[in-house]
Amino acid sequence: MTRTQKTVFILVALVALILGLTVNKVLSGKNQGDPTALIDAGIILLPQSRNLPDVTMTNQDGQPVTINELKGKWSLLFFGYTFCPDVCPTTLAQLRQIKSELPPEAVDKLQIVLVSVDPNRDTPKQLKQYLSYFDPQFIGLTPASINELEKISNAVSIPFIP
């Protein structure tokens, strides 16, 4: 993947992140679930949730994690990599800041997950060390292969070019 492709990929992920945070702000506000407020904010909720592929990844502790294990909380997936020089650390720092400003009941329902787009270099040890700079509760996942990464990125409409 060229530097330009990585940059485009990360920028698309940031747009998805901003949209997700906007949806959260609108839904957790006083007009919770009000379709008019959502439309005014430029948000369209899909009538059905998406089915994610049965992908198993390795977390920062070296343990296998299936997508189904993320159920039960809002999972904010950030697609990035630990050797990213600028956008990834900036985004993770912003996520840490946003998380610190959320009320405790919202934090309890949220998990921030870094899905590595560089499974060949982002080992569990590398992910654990990297994420510890931002928030020890952030989850780091590395797909077993580029094919597994493509499955999950396509399912959540994140363009990925290996």
The annotated binding site is made up of 84, 88
Burial of 43 (0-12, 13-18, 19+ CB in 10 A): middle
CA distance 110 to 117: 22
The annotated binding site for Cu cation is made up of 84, 88
CA distance 98 to 119: 27
Number of helical H runs and strand E runs in the chain = 6, 5
Cα dihedral 7, 11, 13, 15 in deg (nearest 10): 180
Could you count the other beta carbons within 10 Å of the beta carbon of residue 85? 8
